[in-house]
Structure 1
Amino acid sequence: MENFIATYQSELLTTCITIAVLLILKFVTNKTIRKVGKLSDIVEARTLLITKYVSGLLTILGIGALTFIWGVNYREVGTLFASVFAVIGVALFASWSILSNVTAGVILFFSFPFKIGDKVKILDKDIESEEPYLIEDIKAFHVNLRKENGELLVYPNNLMMQKAVSLINTKELHKVQDELI
């Protein structure tokens, strides 16, 4: 054991530093995401979802850093990663809309002008209704929109970014109406 520690002293020290930096980064990003979620009045479930995405990304970066630190044979790892990424690439190409919806969900988390409880109109020729929808929930892949008659529309996140959406903010309307009365 002493021989192992003496032989790999620099790698062990660098590994400890890398893990500490990753843990600090995870803590800081989680705090930042929670603060953004709280300031933007975003539902806690959405905040936790984005936190999971960032944590996964940091874990992948950490694994990559550790393989670099320990000097893993890149030819063997390269072959493994090439095979894995080829399979993942084919799977993502086959389901590109899922990837675009997840990406749109992350983007909408940080720059979404609408919140749960707001009323919106989607200006899409495929949606025949002129009636506004209530935003009931915002998920990783889609947004749940409900009409006043109870009809539920599950609308993909990527279309929320691509189509024109007008906000009928009922909270602001009520505030203005109360001030006028």
Structure 2
Amino acid sequence: MEIDNHKLIYSIAILVVAFLVRLIISSSLRKIRIKFGFQKSRIVAINKIITILLYVTAITIIAFIWGVSDEQFLLFVSSFLTVLGIAFFAQWSILSNITAGVILFVNYPVKIGDTITIMEKDNDIVGEIKDIGAFFITLQTKKGDYISLPNSQILQKMIRFK
């Protein structure tokens, strides 16, 4: 099989452009974090998501350059989404926790390092937010204990914060 030099050059150029765009975006995110006072952990997570999307796009473009047909690509994407959909359908709680984690991370008035009180019927939970993950939020109590709560539960509870 003969390697087409034009395809190779285009592929390398796309990877270089993707890498340069990633560097520019990373630099811009650092400046935004400093200007607006966002937490470093939020910027790191956003940077990871953007990097993954950028490289997936670059790999898709390279696949088309090397001759992957539209039908083959659509078959792969539809198969992948079908498997993913079945997996999420089997685990609704996982999907709701991931969605709640994104909401907590991006658009919630508390952030990592804040102290919150989760108002329960019988026993309130007071703790400092140590991590907001994809599935759980981790709190550290005044005693030093760590409590892990599902993200979907956090959105359903009344929370007091300062």
After TM superposition, is the score higher than 0.5? yes
Query: 1:132 pairs with 117, 126, 130, which one?
Result: 126
Gaps of 5+ in 1: 169-181
Query: Alpha-carbon deviations, 1:40-95, whole Å to 9, x = none?
Result: 45354x54444333322222222222223333122233333332322122112222
- Please say which of residues 108-117 and 18-27 is displaced more in the overlay: 108-117
Gaps of 5+ in 2: none
SS of 2:4's equivalent in the other structure is helix
Match of 1:178 in 2: none
1: CA distance, partners of 2:101 / 2:134 = 5
2: CA distance, partners of 1:43 / 1:4 = 44
Contact 1:49 1:140 in 2 (8 A): no
1: CA distance, partners of 2:108 / 2:37 = 9
Query: Alpha-carbon deviations, 1:134-162, whole Å to 9, x = none?
Result: 22333332111233355543122334344
TM value normalised by structure 2: 0.71
Mark the CA change 1:118 to 1:75 in structure 2 (over 3 Å): closer, same or farther: closer
> Equivalent residues in 2 for 1:40-55 (5 A)?
40=37, 42=39, 44=41, 47-55=43-51
- Please say which of residues 152-161 and 34-43 is displaced more in the overlay: 34-43
User: Does 2:87 correspond to 1:91?
Assistant: yes
Match of 1:172 in 2: none
SS of 2:86's equivalent in the other structure is helix
Match of 1:165 in 2: 159
User: Does 2:154 correspond to 1:154?
Assistant: no
User: Does 2:143 correspond to 1:144?
Assistant: no
Contact 1:41 1:115 in 2 (8 A): no
User: Does 2:9 correspond to 1:23?
Assistant: no
Aligned-residue offset at 1:119 = 1.7
SS of 2:62's equivalent in the other structure is helix
Q: What is the RMSD computed on CA atoms of the aligned residues? A: 3.3
Aligned-residue offset at 1:124 = 5.2
Decide which structure has the larger Cα Rg and report it.
1
2: CA distance, partners of 1:90 / 1:41 = 36
Q: How many residues align?
A: 161
Match of 2:4 in 1: 4
1: CA distance, partners of 2:70 / 2:38 = 46
